[in-house]
Chain A
Amino acid sequence: TVMQVSVINTVDTSHEDMIHDAQMDYYGTRLATCSSDRTVKIFDVRNGGQILVADLRGHEGPVWQVAWAHPMYGNILASCSYDRKVIVWKEENGSWDKMYEYTGHESSMNSVCWGPYDFGLILACGSSDGAISLLTFTGEQQWDVKKISNAHTIGCNAVSWAPAVVPGSLVDQPSGQKPNYVKRFVSGGCDNLVKLWKEEDGQWKEDQKLEAHSDWVRDVGWAPSIGLPTSTIASCSQDGRVFIWTCEDPTGNTWTPKLLHKFVDVVWHVSWSITGNILAVSGGDNKVTLWKESMDGQWACISDVSKGQGAVSSITDTQQSEQ
C-alpha cells in the first residue's frame, strides 16, 4: 500500500550545530537528540508538545549517536562522541546525571546500541580505532568491559544487536521452557565488511564475515524477530548499495545477500521498523525511502514492480521537488 505521511509536530531543539541523531524512547513520549554542538538534549514530546527536560553536557566533541535503554532499567540514555567517550546518563529523582563514562578507545566512538533487555543492561560500542567494546552493568555502579580489538581494520562504523531469542526456538519451544539465549550482534566497518559476533563461554568471537560491499559500510541493522526461523540483516555502504542478508537455518551459518537497490550516492543509514517489516533507507540523494519485503512468486500487497522489491513511499526535502 502506498503510505502517505504528514508532518504532525516540529520540535525546535535549539542545537547550535548539526544534529546527528534523534531517538524516541520506547513509548514515544521522550525525544533525545545529539549534535555537533557537543550536547545531548532530552525533550518531553507528549501530546505534540516540546518541553526541554535536560541539556546534557559532558562530551568534548560532536556527539554521533544516542540510544535509549529498556524502560525496565529506569530512564537511561547512552551517547557516543568524536571525543572517544561513551557516556551513560540516568535520570534519578527527576534530574539527569552521568551514570558512567567510558574512555577505553583511541579515537571517535561512532555507534552505540543497547542489547535486548533479556541480557541485562549491555551496550555495544563501535569506534574508529577499529575496536568494539561491550559494556555490561553489573550493579553497584560497576560496569564490566569486554573489548574486541581489531574488529574492523581502519574503523567500525555501526553496531546492531540481534534479537534475544534464537530464531526458530519460539516456534519449536515447548511452553514453559526458557528460550535459547545467544548474544549476537552485527557490525559494519571501513574494511567494507559486515561481521557477525557471537558470545561463547563468556568470550566474543567473530562468527561470520559477510563480504559484498566495495566501500565502507556505514550502517547495519538486525531486523526484529517475528518468530520466524530466518534472520535478516540490512547493510548500507558508501558504494551506494543496500544489501539484505538472510539466514534460513537456525544455526546461523549460511547468509545470502540480496541487493535491495543500488543508489546513486552514498547510503548512510538503514533502520527497521518495530515489527521489522519495513526498512527505511536514507542516502545521499536527499531522500528517505521505505521498503517493504515482498518475495518472488508471492503475492505482495505493494507492487510487483521488480523482482521482489517495491518502493513504498519516499520522503524528500523541498529542494528535490523544485527541480
Chain B
Amino acid sequence: MEELDVEPTTTNIPASEGNHLGFVWGPGDILVYDTIYKSSGSVGTCSSFIHEVRKDEDIYSPILRKLFNESHHIFVGLQTIREDLPNKNKKTQFVSISKNYRSVIRACMEELQQVSILLAIELIWNLCEVLFIDAAPGGSLLLHLLDWVRLHKADVDEKAQEVLQSESPTEHHGYWDVVLSYLMQGRMDEARQMLVKWGVLKPAARSMYKQMDNLLSKMPVYNPGGSQTLTEFDVKWRHWHDMVDHSLQDNSFASDPNLELICKILMGDEDAILEQKDLLSTWYHFLVTRLLFSHPTVKPTELHYYAQSCLAMFDSRSAPEPLDSILLAAFEFDIHQVIKDCSIALNNWWFVAHLTDLLDHCNLLQSHNLHFGSNLREFLLLEYASGLFTHHSLWQLAVDYFDHCPEFGRVYLEQQIEHVPLDTERKALKVLRICEQRQMSEQVRSICKIMAKRALRNNRLGSALSWSIRAKDAAFATLISERFLQDYCARGTFSDLDLIDNLGPAMLLSDRLTFLGKYREFHKLYGENRFSDAATLLLSLMTAQIAPRSFWMTLLTDALPLLEQKEVRLPPKVNERNTWEPEMSSLYNLHQKKVLSTINWLVNVDV
C-alpha cells in the first residue's frame, strides 16, 4: 500500500532570538509564549507577549457552518433508520441519504468562494456512492460513472452554448471540441445534434455525414431496467463495434480528419482518446471514456486494472497527487485506504466522519479495532465532534454525535461539556438540560454548584438557593438559608418570597432550609390573621428543634404578640396515641400556658 508522506506544517510565531517556546492547552485555543527554560535562574530578554493560537478549522467559517448544521440533521436521521428493514429498502435509503449529503455540499459550494476542496470532497463522495453504496454491477456501473464524469465536467454545456450562439457554429474554433467532448461523455444525442449543423452545410460530404450519424445512432446503450441481459447487450455492442471498425478499415472517413478521429475514438483507440487530453483534463475522465468505447460491460472488480493504467498513461511525468491516490484507492475498492488518505489530505474531519458513518451503516467497514478498543467510525466521529465543541454555538451539534458513539461518546461529552462557558443563566440551563437528560449527575452537580456560587457572589440569594436545590447541595442550601435569615433579622423582610413559598419537598434538603420555609409560612399565616395556625407552627418550630439557636430570640419575640391575641384558639393537640384531641373550653388560658411552658423549656435547655 502506498504511503502518503505528509510533512507536518510549520507555523511561525514571532519570538525573540534564542528563546524557547512555552506552550499550554486552552479549552479551545492554544497559548504560545516566549520564554527561556533554564535549570536555574533566568537570563536574557524576551517579549511579554502571549499568542493565542487556534487550529485553522472550518468551523469558524460562517458558510461551512451551514454545512455542519444541515449535515447534523442528516446524520441524526441516519442513526435512526430502522435496523429491521429489508436490505433492498435500506440500500435505497442509504443512497438517498448519500445524495442528501452531497446536495448540502453542493449548496455550500455555490456560496463559498474557495470551492476547490468542496469540489474534491463531492467528487470523492460521489464516486464512493457509486462504487460502495449503490454498488452498481457491470452494465449499470459504466452508466453511473458516466453520470459522475458529466457532473464534474460541466463546462461542456457552457462551451456548447457559446458555439451555438455564434454567427457560424461550425466555423467556431470550439465546434469540434464540443462534438468530441459530448462523445467522450457518452452524450450521443447531443453530439449528433451538433454534427447535424456540419452535415447540413457540407452537401459534398453528405454521405459521410449520414454514415457517421448512423454509427452514432446505433451505438447500444445498456438499459438496466430493460429485459435485455448483460450478455445480450454485450453481443449487440460487439456487433456495433465491428461496424465501426469496418468503417475505419474501408476508409469511409479518410477524407475528413475530424470524422476519422471520431471513428477512432468510437473504436476505443487509446492514442486517439489520449490526444484529447485537454478536453478530458483528468485521468479519470480518460478512464471512463476508454471504458465506454472498449469495455462498457466492465465489472467493479475489473476497474482497478483500467484505473491504474489510465492514471499512468494520462500523465506519466508527474507524481500522483493526493486526490489521485484517493480515487485510485476507491477504484480498487479499498475503503479503508480511501478514508485514511482523505483524513490525511483534507484539513477537516467533517468529510471522513460523515462518509465513514454512512459506510458503516451500509455494513461496508470491517470491524477494524483500534487500540482504543473502539472502531474507525467512532474514532472519526469523536474527532469531528470534539472539534465542534470548541465553537460557541456549534457545540450543541456535537452532543448528538457523541450520543451516537456508544463506547466513548459519553465520556468525551462529560469531559468537554464542563468547558462550555456558562455565560448566561439561559446557557447554563441549556447545558444543564443536556446533562440531566443523560443522567450525568456529576456534571449536573458541578454546573449547579458553579451557578449557585456565582449567584451568591452577586447577592442573588433566590437564584443561589434554587441552584443549590437543583444541585441537591445541602451544605450550600444551609449556607444560603442562613443568609436569608440574616437578611430577615437585619431588614425585617424576606427577599425572594416566591421561591421560598414554593419550595415544596425541596424544603427537606437541609434543616436550615426547612426552617426557613416553615418560618416564612408562619409569617404568612400571621399576616392572614390565622393566628391559631400560626401559633401551632411556631410551637412546632420551637419544639421540633429545627430552629437554629441564633434564632430563638427572634422566635420568642414573634411569639409575644400571639399571647395577646384573644381570638387564638387552642390548636388541636396530638396525644400519646397520635390522635387529635378536641378543643377545650378555657381556650385562651391553656394556650397561654402552652406558650409559657415552651418558653420555659427553651430557657432551660442547655445552650
Binding site for B on A (CB under 8 A): 1-24, 26-29, 31, 33, 35-36, 45, 62, 70-74, 92-93, 117-118, 170, 175, 216, 218, 224-228, 238, 266, 268-269, 271-275, 280, 282-284, 286-289, 293, 295, 298-305, 311-321
Contact among A19, A170, A316 for B33, CB-based, below 8 A: A19
Number of interface residues of B (CB under 8 A): 88
Residues 358-375 of chain B, each 1 if its beta carbon lies under 8 Å from chain A, else 0: 000000000011111100
Q: A27-B421, A275-B416, A280-B25 in contact; A313/B450 too (CB < 8 A)?
A: no
- With A28-B27, A118-B442, A319-B18 given, can you name 18 additional A-B contacts, CB distance below 8 Å? A1-B343, A3-B9, A8-B54, A9-B52, A10-B50, A22-B50, A26-B27, A27-B420, A28-B421, A299-B336, A301-B340, A301-B343, A303-B5, A311-B8, A313-B11, A314-B8, A317-B12, A318-B13
Q: A11-B50, A33-B50, A226-B372 in contact; A26/B418 too (CB < 8 A)?
A: yes
Q: A2-B9, A8-B53 in contact; A317/B21 too (CB < 8 A)?
A: yes
In whole Å, how far is A320's beta carbon from the nearest beta carbon of chain B? 8
Q: Restricting to B414-434, which residues have a CB under 8 Å from any CB of A?
A: 415-416, 418-422
Question: Hey, which chain A residues are within 8 Å of B31, CB to CB?
Answer: 22-24, 31
B344 touches A1 (CB 8 A): yes
**Is B376 part of the contact surface with A, judged by Cβ < 8 Å?**
yes
**Is B408 part of the contact surface with A, judged by Cβ < 8 Å?**
yes
B49 touches A10 (CB 8 A): yes
A1 touches B19 (CB 8 A): no
Question: Hey, which chain B residues are within 8 Å of A311, CB to CB?
Answer: 8
- Cα distance, A274 to B27, chains bound together (Å): 7
B19 touches A11 (CB 8 A): no
5 shortest A-B CB distances, which residue pairs?
A24-B26, A27-B421, A295-B371, A317-B15, A227-B411
A274 touches B29 (CB 8 A): no
B34 touches A19 (CB 8 A): yes
**Is B24 part of the contact surface with A, judged by Cβ < 8 Å?**
yes
Q: A8-B54, A19-B34 in contact; A301/B383 too (CB < 8 A)?
A: yes
Q: A22-B22, A272-B25, A286-B20 in contact; A304/B3 too (CB < 8 A)?
A: yes
- Cα distance, A226 to B410, chains bound together (Å): 9
B23 touches A288 (CB 8 A): yes
B11 touches A5 (CB 8 A): yes
The stretch among B40-48, B104-112, B214-222, B235-243 that forms the contact with chain A is B40-48
In whole Å, how far is B564's beta carbon from the nearest beta carbon of chain A? 42
A216 touches B10 (CB 8 A): no
Nearest B-chain residue to A267, judged by Cβ: B37
Q: A10-B49, A295-B371 in contact; A225/B411 too (CB < 8 A)?
A: yes
In whole Å, how far is A36's beta carbon from the nearest beta carbon of chain B? 5
Nearest B-chain residue to A108, judged by Cβ: B40
B408 touches A226 (CB 8 A): yes
B9 touches A4 (CB 8 A): yes
- Cα distance, A93 to B412, chains bound together (Å): 34
A–B pairs, 6, beta carbons within 8 Å: A5-B30, A11-B50, A28-B29, A45-B52, A284-B20, A315-B23
B48 touches A303 (CB 8 A): no
**Is B491 part of the contact surface with A, judged by Cβ < 8 Å?**
no
B24 touches A21 (CB 8 A): yes
* Total inter-chain residue pairs, C-beta < 8 Å: 253
Q: A5-B30, A284-B37 in contact; A302/B22 too (CB < 8 A)?
A: no
**Is B449 part of the contact surface with A, judged by Cβ < 8 Å?**
yes
B23 touches A282 (CB 8 A): yes
Nearest A-chain residue to B349, judged by Cβ: A1
Contact among B10, B15, B51 for A313, CB-based, below 8 A: B10
Nearest B-chain residue to A72, judged by Cβ: B449
Q: A7-B51, A226-B372, A275-B386 in contact; A18/B36 too (CB < 8 A)?
A: yes
- Cα distance, A228 to B421, chains bound together (Å): 27
In whole Å, how far is A12's beta carbon from the nearest beta carbon of chain B? 6
- Cα distance, A218 to B20, chains bound together (Å): 15
- Cα distance, A227 to B373, chains bound together (Å): 11
In whole Å, how far is B219's beta carbon from the nearest beta carbon of chain A? 44
Looking at B16, B44, B344, the one whose CB has the most chain A CB atoms below 10 A away is B344
In whole Å, how far is A75's beta carbon from the nearest beta carbon of chain B? 9
Q: A303-B5, A318-B14 in contact; A287/B21 too (CB < 8 A)?
A: yes
A4 touches B408 (CB 8 A): no
**Is B569 part of the contact surface with A, judged by Cβ < 8 Å?**
no
- Cα distance, A268 to B38, chains bound together (Å): 9
Q: A9-B51, A274-B416, A318-B13 in contact; A299/B21 too (CB < 8 A)?
A: no
- Cα distance, A121 to B22, chains bound together (Å): 27
- Cα distance, A72 to B444, chains bound together (Å): 11
Nearest B-chain residue to A14, judged by Cβ: B48
**Is B35 part of the contact surface with A, judged by Cβ < 8 Å?**
yes
- Cα distance, A238 to B28, chains bound together (Å): 30
Q: A24-B24, A312-B8 in contact; A18/B340 too (CB < 8 A)?
A: no
A5 touches B347 (CB 8 A): no
Q: A4-B11, A74-B453, A288-B21 in contact; A19/B56 too (CB < 8 A)?
A: no
**Is B32 part of the contact surface with A, judged by Cβ < 8 Å?**
yes
Nearest A-chain residue to B369, judged by Cβ: A298
**Is B560 part of the contact surface with A, judged by Cβ < 8 Å?**
no
- Cα distance, A158 to B410, chains bound together (Å): 31
- Cα distance, A29 to B422, chains bound together (Å): 11
- Cα distance, A203 to B518, chains bound together (Å): 45
B6 touches A315 (CB 8 A): no
Question: Hey, which chain A residues are within 8 Å of B340, CB to CB?
Answer: 299-301
Q: A5-B56, A26-B419, A321-B12 in contact; A299/B412 too (CB < 8 A)?
A: no
Q: A2-B347, A216-B39, A312-B8 in contact; A298/B371 too (CB < 8 A)?
A: yes
**Is B587 part of the contact surface with A, judged by Cβ < 8 Å?**
no
- Cα distance, A304 to B1, chains bound together (Å): 11
Q: A18-B35, A299-B336 in contact; A62/B50 too (CB < 8 A)?
A: no
B52 touches A8 (CB 8 A): yes
B22 touches A19 (CB 8 A): yes
- Cα distance, A317 to B23, chains bound together (Å): 12
**Is B303 part of the contact surface with A, judged by Cβ < 8 Å?**
no
Q: A2-B6, A72-B450 in contact; A266/B371 too (CB < 8 A)?
A: no
- Cα distance, A9 to B50, chains bound together (Å): 8
Q: A275-B415, A303-B4, A319-B18 in contact; A10/B42 too (CB < 8 A)?
A: no
- Cα distance, A104 to B25, chains bound together (Å): 30
- Cα distance, A171 to B459, chains bound together (Å): 42
- Cα distance, A8 to B31, chains bound together (Å): 10
In whole Å, how far is A273's beta carbon from the nearest beta carbon of chain B? 5
- Cα distance, A95 to B134, chains bound together (Å): 64
Residues 60-71 of chain B, each 1 if its beta carbon lies under 8 Å from chain A, else 0: 000000000000
Contact among A21, A62, A93 for B22, CB-based, below 8 A: A21
Contact among B17, B20, B42, B442 for A17, CB-based, below 8 A: B42
- Cα distance, A31 to B407, chains bound together (Å): 34
**Is B494 part of the contact surface with A, judged by Cβ < 8 Å?**
no
- Cα distance, A289 to B30, chains bound together (Å): 13
A4 touches B24 (CB 8 A): no
Question: Hey, which chain B residues are within 8 Å of A299, CB to CB?
Answer: 336, 340, 368, 370, 376
